[in-house]
Amino acid sequence: MRVLVTGGGGFIGSHLVRRLLEQGHDVLCLDNFFTGSKDNIIDLLPDPRFELIRHDVVEPILLEVDQIYNLACPASPVHYQYNPVKTVKTNVMGTLNMLGLAKRVGARILQASTSEVYGDPQVHPQPESYWGHVNPIGRRSCYDEGKRLAETLMMDYHRQNQVDICIVRIFNTYGPAMAVDDGRVVSNFVIQALKGQDLTIYGEGKQTRSFCYISDMVEGLMAAMAAQDFTGPVNLGNPTEFTMLELARQVLELTGSSSRLVFAPLPEDDPAQRKPEITLARDCLGWSPTVDLQEGLESTINYFRAQLGLD
């Protein structure tokens, strides 16, 4: 296959690019490096089956490909709130451009959506049938509503133009190649612990998340792409749930850090609970996560030790 990965220089994208190359595909990595990093894929440049294209998906592009993984978008609150209008453009105009490309060349396209489409959920755990509880005018809405509209565009192109699509709702994912300034909870806690800084807990730390290791997520994405006549949406994530306090204490234990826990006000529209219902992924894709939190955190901690020059 000739496969396009938008956002291929990012955290999830760079791992996906490597896995696709391992399988023998020709891979086009498209990224404007707004949040992605060349360091994530620079060692791949000599590979004749790898091609790097510096481009913003907000602008149209003409390519010949068999599959498209549309991962292009800032994914952490720190990054997507930095330029919210740009985030909306990436989600809407970028998705339109990739759908237009898929329609023109007859490619199957996978949209990387997010658990954020469920907002601060009133149903727990969250099944794909749940429509969500989202603030359309809050600080997070550029991402939340942008991804919801991207899903709308995917389904409309499928119904109106018979474009071969798949929508995947990604829950919290972590692992090596996360940016040091990512701003998400796993990287925040690990960096703070390794530097001996206080770990910042928002609210009382009772809010929950479910953490999926990157290798599991990549296998899920590829399983969704390979599933014929499967449009989704489908949840991909680890259904094992942890409070922020539990995560913080596990990071402290694994790093051997003497950092303290400090508490700060809860950010606007921060979800109280987040846990995927993954029955559909198990039944239709044959996928479920295999890496537990301790194993994944150990690998992630080792990566950040090296990034910080502490190994």
Read off the pLDDT of residues 127-169 as tens digits, 9 standing for 90 and up: 999 999 999 999 999 999 999 999 999 999 999 999 999 999 9
Q: Which single residue is written with the structure tokens 């991402």?
A: 143
How far CA 195 is from CA of 126, 242, 252, in Å, comes to 35, 23, 11
Q: Which single residue is written with the structure tokens 């000739």?
A: 2
Measuring CA to CA, which residue among 82, 106, 91 is closest to residue 163?
A: 106
- Residue 143 appears among annotated catalytic residues: yes
- Helix and strand numbers (H, E) in the chain are 10, 13
∠ at Cα 301 (244, 181), nearest 5°?
70
- How many separate domains does the chain show? 1
**What pLDDT score does 183 carry?**
80
Report yes or no on 103 lying in a domain. yes
- Cβ–Cβ under 8 Å, residues 257 and 193: yes
**What pLDDT score does 269 carry?**
67
The pLDDT tens digits of the residues spanning 263-282 come to 988 877 677 888 999 999 99
Report yes or no on 244 lying in a domain. no
Average pLDDT, rounded, for the chain: 94
Mean pLDDT of 44-73: 97
- Cβ–Cβ under 8 Å, residues 273 and 208: yes
**Which residues, other chains included, contact 179 with Cβ-Cβ below 8 Å and sequence gap of 6+?**
11, 35, 37, 187
Report yes or no on 255 lying in a domain. no
pLDDT at residue 74 is higher than 90: no
In the chain, at which residue ranges do the beta strands (DSSP E only) sit?
A: 2-6, 26-31, 50-54, 67-70, 108-114, 165-170, 173-174, 199-202, 208-210, 212-213, 234-236, 241-243, 261-264
Tokens of 277: 């219902």
Report yes or no on 196 lying in a domain. no
136 phi/psi in degrees, rounded to 5: -80, -10
Q: Which of 69, 80, 118, 143 is catalytic?
A: 143
pLDDT at residue 284 is higher than 70: yes
**Which residues, other chains included, contact 258 with Cβ-Cβ below 8 Å and sequence gap of 6+?**
196
- Cβ–Cβ under 8 Å, residues 143 and 80: yes
Report yes or no on 265 lying in a domain. no
Q: How confident is the model at residue 79 (pLDDT cuts 50, 70, 90)?
A: confident
**What pLDDT score does 280 carry?**
98
CATH of the domain at 234: 3.40.50.720
Mean pLDDT of 243-260: 94
DSSP state, residue 133: B
pLDDT at residue 116 is higher than 90: yes
SS3 202: strand
pLDDT at residue 102 is higher than 80: yes
**Which residues, other chains included, contact 159 with Cβ-Cβ below 8 Å and sequence gap of 6+?**
none
Report yes or no on 20 lying in a domain. yes
Q: Which helix (H) or strand (E) holds 194?
A: helix 185-194
Structural domain boundaries enclosing 168: 2-174+212-239+275-290
Report yes or no on 112 lying in a domain. yes
Least confident of 48-52, 150-154, 307-311: 307-311
Report yes or no on 167 lying in a domain. yes
Query: Would you tell me how many other CB atoms lie within 10 Å of the CB of residue 16?
Result: 28
